[in-house]
Structure 1
Amino acid sequence: MATNPSEPDHATASVVEVTTPHGPARVHLDSPAGSRATVMLGHGAGGGVTAGDLTLAASAARAAGLGVALVEQPYRVAGRRSPAPARQLDAAWVAVAAWLRAQVGDPTPLVTGGRSSGARVACRTAAEVGAVGVLCLAFPLQPPGRADRPSRLPELDGVTVPTLVVQGSRDPFGMPSSGPDRRVVVVDGDHSLAKDHPRIRTAVEEWLTELLSPERNRATR
């Protein structure tokens, strides 16, 4: 793997290419010394890590004193917009998570998540990467106009750690239900989550604070 510094989005960020089974992924890493946890976030199917809701979530994590890793999947690094198959996305994500643990120290808690397709990847791999929580921005529950396609709710239901879903009130992909250890916060807007930014940021900040509180950690030991 090769490390390539570039112009950071944050004062201490660096950009690193990480080898995966399906080509290099690109990680925008901001991991200040002493971070009590790291939040690893992935992009949507046709978008990138500069999406507004991802930027808000990353900013909320930094404000809480957490490290942030924004991950570009290999197909995006290669310049393709069409997403890779789920098995390839998951394998690349797991490889990046293993690399990230080696950088920040294995005992450091890892929160995973992303927007849309990235949220699905985080749900499917949560157990394998040892995530302590999953953050889903605009989870794509059901393809619009495709009632013949199966719901993606089983991917959410398969997560066994605390989960936050931030969903637009008019998201054409539908509205996931809350469940055991799953909080659904509805904000004004559609699948882009381009509105109600203060509410999105507050929801993420409050959930991260609760998830990583010393009281909760003691109670779950």
Structure 2
Amino acid sequence: MSSSLVSKIPIYLAHGAGAGHQSSGFLKVFSEMTLDKHGRSVVPVTFKYMAEQESSGKKRPPPRFKTLVPEFIETIKLEESVIVAGKSMGGRVATQLSHQENVRAIICFGFPFYPSGKPEKHRLSFLEDVAAPCLIIQGTRDSLGKPDWVNNQTLNEHIEVHWIEGADHDFKTLKKQNLKTEDVIENISNVVEDWLQRHGLAS
């Protein structure tokens, strides 16, 4: 392990509700690119229900949301400084860790602002008390949070939203954009590192 990697604050990355680190192409490629391009380690956070699902091969729904927060806290308790992140549901959990003393920043990939097609059932309450710099990376075609709705909301001052043109909830783009998924994820990795540097978290 290089000295540059040791000196950089790690990203603890949680999965979404239905796909863990073994089956999510986004999580796997983002982790590899962030390590290779920026020398920053990405530590996978797998909730207990997903670990059981992956070992048994039988799908099961996530447990009550409030049980996932202490699980995430348990995984980071030995780190002096940490960046918490998550894909979809995992990002929603990560936002609830901002008051932990060792959490320096939060990154959400495809934040589930509301259930698909139901903005009236929004989840903005999860963002109200965020007390650390928070980056939300969202595709403009994400059915769980589209620009015309998100951009009309008043978000916590710590939150910044970065839009990925033409990307859906899994950051897949339209064929006419002629972009490989790997190209999109590489762009996302660069955006994350640039944002961390702007917030004094380059190392």
Is TM (by shorter chain) over 0.5?
A: yes
Tell whether 2:55 aligns with 1:78. Answer: no
Which of residues 42, 63, 71 is equivalent to 2:14? Answer: 42
Residue 162 (structure 1) aligns with: 133
Question: 1:130 Cα shift?
Answer: 3.0
Which amino acid in 2 is paired with 1:138? Answer: G
Answer yes or no: is the 8 Å Cα contact 1:60–1:204 preserved in 2: no
Distance 1:164 1:94 in 2: 19
Residue 184 (structure 1) aligns with: 161
CA spacing shift, 1:163–1:60, aligned 2, 3 Å: farther
Identity %: 27
Distance 2:197 2:5 in 1: 19
Which amino acid in 2 is paired with 1:71? Answer: V
Question: 1:129 Cα shift?
Answer: 5.6
Alignment of 1:107-146 (within 5 A): 109-128=81-100, 130-146=102-118
Distance 2:8 2:43 in 1: 14
Which amino acid in 2 is paired with 1:181? Answer: H
Answer yes or no: is the 8 Å Cα contact 1:39–1:112 preserved in 2: yes
Which amino acid in 2 is paired with 1:184? Answer: V
Which of residues 21, 38, 47 is equivalent to 1:64? Answer: 38
Which of residues 57, 64, 72 is equivalent to 1:93? Answer: 72
Larger strand fraction of residues: 1
Residue 201 (structure 1) aligns with: 189
Name the SS of the counterpart of 1:128 in structure 2. coil
Residue 15 (structure 1) aligns with: none
RMSD: 2.6
Larger helix fraction of residues: 2
Distance 1:59 1:206 in 2: 17
Answer yes or no: is the 8 Å Cα contact 1:37–1:66 preserved in 2: yes
Tell whether 2:198 aligns with 1:210. Answer: yes
Distance 1:56 1:184 in 2: 22
Distance 2:64 2:88 in 1: 15
CA spacing shift, 1:148–1:213, aligned 2, 3 Å: closer
Structure 1 unaligned segments of length 5 or more: list them.
1-11, 13-30
Question: 1:148 Cα shift?
Answer: 5.1
Residue 18 (structure 1) aligns with: none
Which amino acid in 2 is paired with 1:44? Answer: G
CA spacing shift, 1:199–1:118, aligned 2, 3 Å: same
Distance 1:54 1:191 in 2: 13
Distance 1:209 1:40 in 2: 17
Which amino acid in 2 is paired with 1:155? Answer: F
Answer yes or no: is the 8 Å Cα contact 1:43–1:118 preserved in 2: yes
Give the ranges of 4+ consecutive aligned residues of structure 1 lying more than 6 Å apart after TM superposition. none
Distance 2:101 2:52 in 1: 24
**TM-score after normalising by structure 2:** 0.76
Distance 1:52 1:212 in 2: 29
**TM-score after normalising by structure 1:** 0.70
Tell whether 2:26 aligns with 1:53. Answer: yes
Question: 1:122 Cα shift?
Answer: 0.2
Structure 2 unaligned segments of length 5 or more: list them.
54-58, 174-183
